Amino acid sequence: MNKVNMTIDGIQLYVPENYTILEAAKEAGISIPTLCFLKDVNEIGCCRMCIVEVEGAKAMPAACVHPVSEGMVVRTHTPRVMEARKVNLDLILSNHNARCQTCSRSMMDCELQALANKLMIEDVVFEGESAKLPLDIGTSIVRDPNKCILCRRCISACKKIQSVGVIDIVGRGFDAHVGSPFGIRLEETPCVNCGQCINYCPVGALKEKDDTAKVWDALYDPDRVVIVQTAPAVRVALGEDFNMPIGEPVTGKMVTALRMLGFDQVFDTDTGADLTIMEEGTELIDRIRGGGRLPMITSCSPGWIKFCEHNYPEYLDNLSTCKSPHQMFGAILKTYYAEKNGIDPEKIFVVSVMPCTAKKFEAARPEMSVNGLADVDAVITTRELASMIYDVGIDFPKLGDSQFDDPFGSATGAGVIFGATGGVMEAALRTVADILTGQSLDNFEYEDIRGLEGIKITTVEVADLKLRAAVAHGLGNARKIMDAVRAGEHFDFIEIMACPGGCVNGGGQPLQLSEVRSWKDVRAERAKGVYREDMKSFIRKSYKNPAIKKLYKEYLGMAGGSRSHELLHTHYKARDNYGKSPLPE
């Protein structure tokens, strides 16, 4: 890579010639403010907050898109630059619905507010006419176009990263806003509810549908038995909302906090993941041995499921029929657990704490029920749980550690790695390999399918089987692997996660400012926490979980049996790309 000499604010630098001014400044420890910029996602220079002066140039270029060159001299904070940034920010603020006290992003994670403080904006000079557009409230996502600043980060996430493309700029001039085709609600489009648009939005224009009030009502109802389950990825992200390091596991503190909130039982969705592996592993073996539909594709990610229903309906029979772990667990809680403990299933209220906004949509699907009762009654995101903890004044970092409740508190390392891309496949292979060989293999680390490469393809040899497997994360990569399947490329087993990096980077995880997300791989840091949890687990294979063994012995019978299919398996359906949601209004 060729390099160039340049100077920024008097500091001489020798940087790669493909750098932008912003990247060069970052390397020199010089902070240039940004708003629309998000590295590798949205690099369009539209907000003009990162403008700088370049010696010899009349116009002030945007540092996030302007390339460096030999001998370039840059100044980042001249009077002209500082005044122009303030004017640009004033213009953005003039048309912003600044109801900050009631905004979901008001607590330190609003990038617009942070920038206004940084530039010492004390009053809005330009009094624009505030937009008055209707809210778009869906099952999973709420859009408030009145708070939108037209940075286009959500558009890039939806179109460039996820290849869904259901939002874009609508209208021109002062009428321009982010919207869906033909002005229809987001839920009436092929939106998959992944929530990546929320992760990338710098303000409060996008957020999850808040279901905390529903949970509080259940907790305060003396006739309810309120059971909470927490997904594996939650424990490596929740601490971030309390200024703890990214990726630090906070499992014990989380359990303590949930008990303090008043939940009757605190269980681990990792147990549901172990159960999923038993069913999914058996299904994979049956399909291969019995000449079933291949490739078998994982079904744990509801965003991916809906994406498949819209875009690849001819492959719905390739999806595993297994429900996702939290839905399986909910079904078990309202049947086996209720029966064992003499509880009326109608009094059980199951709450799932998930890293995922799409789980809200999933839980509302009519297919996710047994005996007329929904498997899961409410889904709240990691962010919503943090909000509930804040609401009651719990000092989270100072909490002691507690253990999950029995009989579903002792999950395995295989269950916890579901939170990272490649984890579902690795967990399945750990069990499938032992079943096929009839022995507990010592070598069960599948390094080839770990990591953040968008698509990973490997061949796994187990006993007399040779499986060609693929792992894809992010729906843009899912589209590539499915197009390859459509073109005739052979695979036996495919894992797909809707969110880049898997559940650790789900649309319901703690928000990180662009200045963090652009320069640090949040996905990798959280995934490290997941694998640390796996390594310290006493049991690391799903079929060895004592609670799962007991469940099959006392209630389910055999994996893949009739009772398992009744409670733990489901089906999916093709969706019109512009048809209305099948969910009730």
Where in the sequence numbering do the catalytic residues fall?
280, 283, 300, 320, 359, 362, 367, 503
3-class secondary-structure state, position 555:
helix
- DSSP letter, residue 335: I
Among residues 305, 384, 349, which one has the least CA distance to residue 574? 305
Per the structure block, which two tokens stand in for 279? 């069913």
In whole angstroms, give the CA distance from residue 322 to residue 474.
Answer: 21
Helix (H) or strand (E) holding 259: helix 251-261
d(CA 294, CA 9): 59
Distance CA 511, CA 200 (A): 8
Are 180 and 65 within 8 A, CB to CB?
no
The one-letter amino acid at 338: A
Query: CB neighbours of 249 closer than 8 A, spacing ≥ 6?
Result: 235, 236, 529, 532, 533
**396-407 burial string, b = 16+ CB within 10 Å, else e?**
beebeebebbee
**Could you give the maximum distance between any two Cα atoms of the chain, in Å?**
81
Burial 468-492 (b: 16+ CB within 10 A, else e): bbbbbbbbbbbbebbebbeeeeebb
Helix extents (H) in 28-128: 79-94, 111-118
DSSP secondary structure of 177-206: EEE-GGG--GGGTT-----HHHHH-SSSSE
Phi/psi of residue 219, nearest 5 degrees: -65, -35
Residue corresponding to tokens 């996030």: 64
- For residue 479, CA distances in Å to 298, 302, 468, 484, 555 come to 15, 15, 18, 9, 39
Structure tokens at 190: 């092929």
Alpha helices in 50-152 (DSSP H): 79-94, 111-118
What distance in Å separates the CA atoms of residue 12 and residue 14, rounded to the nearest whole number? 7
Do residues 228 and 388 lie in contact, with contact meaning Cβ atoms separated by under 8 Å? no
- How far is it, in rounded angstroms, from Cα 237 to Cα 247? 6
